[in-house]
């Protein structure tokens, strides 16, 4: 069983601290108010143990092979970030908080290369993912897609490598390890993103949207946020949206441009030493409220699948659609109760309070 995460309140943007920890989105290399970086280890070019299913590879070898598929993303109005190519048809993944609703976006494949015009094909604020499209014929030398791994079988301690454009410094590589799994961070619209990969590979403003790689150079996540200590410095705690979420989201964005997300209408936390998701608040009039859930209920099962943590619950709901009816098993006052919840459509912003 994977170690469970403490359910912290992470803040997007700004230098506000919660229990002396603030979470900042790496929005752009030119934003001096964002968190500054910390050196990661081992240093680029040192040997890194291979991930599951392969032998050792050096960070230098991986960088030479993978970096042509990592891009600098520039947004009209001054924002910037990173992204990476996923197919030969011109699909590029980045963060929603990088691309947003921008009318004009360009990408650069080489620090000395000319910008290539891109369009925003779709965004999903709930997972902080965006899909860009470029014309492959506009890319000198052709597109070099990155190989996508699976985040399901990751283990803490495995190698982790980040490539991106921190502070606008395109082609920067840092390395470290997978520090933890199943973390939960806040999306740009305020809803939790479950199943997040934590790493100590240095991630800084401008890395957002770039790939987190395993020891074979395969993508295991999309670098999205950092936890910063006093003064906004990188503390060696970074977070990446898992690649399995990307695989689920991108085809929908390519088809529809957006995703209608299912909504339960609860906020939850962990309740050690018990497994489950402890209901803290209920949105009045929401699906959970109508179904009879109450604060203090411990959600232990959803449609026959065990719920070990709030992150588990979030991942299960992400795979559902508005209008689906699910059976939710809760523990209340020592008894187990089964409630039928008809999922609603997630609002544009998470309710406050």
Residues tagged active-site: 97, 128, 208
The residues, ordered by sequence, that sit 6+ positions from 87 with a Cβ below 8 Å of its Cβ are 143, 145
Other beta carbons within 10 Å of 155: 11
How far apart are the C-alpha atoms of 32 and 10, rounded to whole Å? Answer: 20
Residue 198 dihedral angles phi and psi, to the nearest 5° = -100, 140
Instruction: Give the helix ranges, DSSP H, for the chain.
Output: 59-66, 96-99, 243-256, 287-291, 310-318
Q: Identify which of 102, 65, 111, 66 has the alpha carbon closest to the alpha carbon of residue 84.
A: 66
Distance of alpha carbon 276 from alpha carbon 226, whole angstroms: 26
> What would the two tokens of residue 325 be?
């009816």
- In 261-344, which residue ranges form alpha helices assigned H by DSSP? 287-291, 310-318
């Amino acid at each position: 069983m994977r170690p469970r995460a403490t359910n912290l309140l992470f803040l997007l943007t700004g230098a506000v601290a919660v229990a002396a920890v603030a979470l900042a989105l790496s929005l752009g290399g030119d934003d001096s108010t964002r968190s500054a970086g910390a050196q990661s280890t081992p240093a680029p070019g040192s040997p890194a143990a291979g991930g599951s299913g392969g032998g050792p590879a050096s960070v230098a070898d991986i960088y030479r092979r993978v970096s042509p598929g990592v891009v600098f993303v520039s947004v009209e109005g001054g924002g910037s970030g990173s992204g990476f190519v996923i197919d030969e048809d011109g699909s590029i993944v980045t963060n929603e908080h990088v691309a947003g609703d921008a009318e004009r976006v360009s990408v650069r494949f080489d620090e000395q290369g000319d910008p290539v015009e891109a369009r925003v094909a779709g965004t999903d604020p709930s997972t902080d993912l965006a899909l860009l499209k470029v014309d492959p014929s506009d890319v000198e030398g052709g597109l070099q897609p990155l190989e996508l791994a699976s985040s399901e079988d990751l283990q803490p301690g495995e190698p982790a490598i980040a490539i991106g454009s921190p502070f606008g410094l395109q082609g920067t590589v840092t390395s470290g390890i997978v520090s933890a799994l199943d973390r939960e961070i806040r999306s740009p619209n305020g809803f939790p993103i479950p199943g997040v990969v934590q790493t100590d590979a240095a991630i800084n403003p401008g890395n957002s949207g770039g790939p987190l790689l395993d020891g074979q150079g395969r993508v295991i996540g999309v670098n999205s946020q950092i936890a910063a200590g006093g003064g906004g410095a990188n503390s060696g705690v970074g977070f990446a949206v898992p690649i399995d979420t990307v695989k689920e989201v991108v085809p929908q964005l390519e088809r529809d441009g957006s995703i209608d997300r299912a909504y339960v209408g609860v906020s939850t936390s962990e309740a050690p030493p018990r497994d489950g998701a402890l209901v803290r608040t209920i949105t009045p009039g929401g699906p959970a409220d109508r179904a009879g859930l109450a604060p203090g209920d411990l959600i232990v099962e959803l449609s026959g699948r065990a719920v070990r943590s709030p992150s588990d619950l979030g991942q299960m709901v992400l795979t559902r659609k508005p209008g689906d009816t699910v059976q939710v098993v809760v523990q209340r006052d020592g008894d187990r109760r089964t409630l039928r919840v008809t999922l609603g459509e997630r609002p544009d912003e998470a309710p406050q309070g």
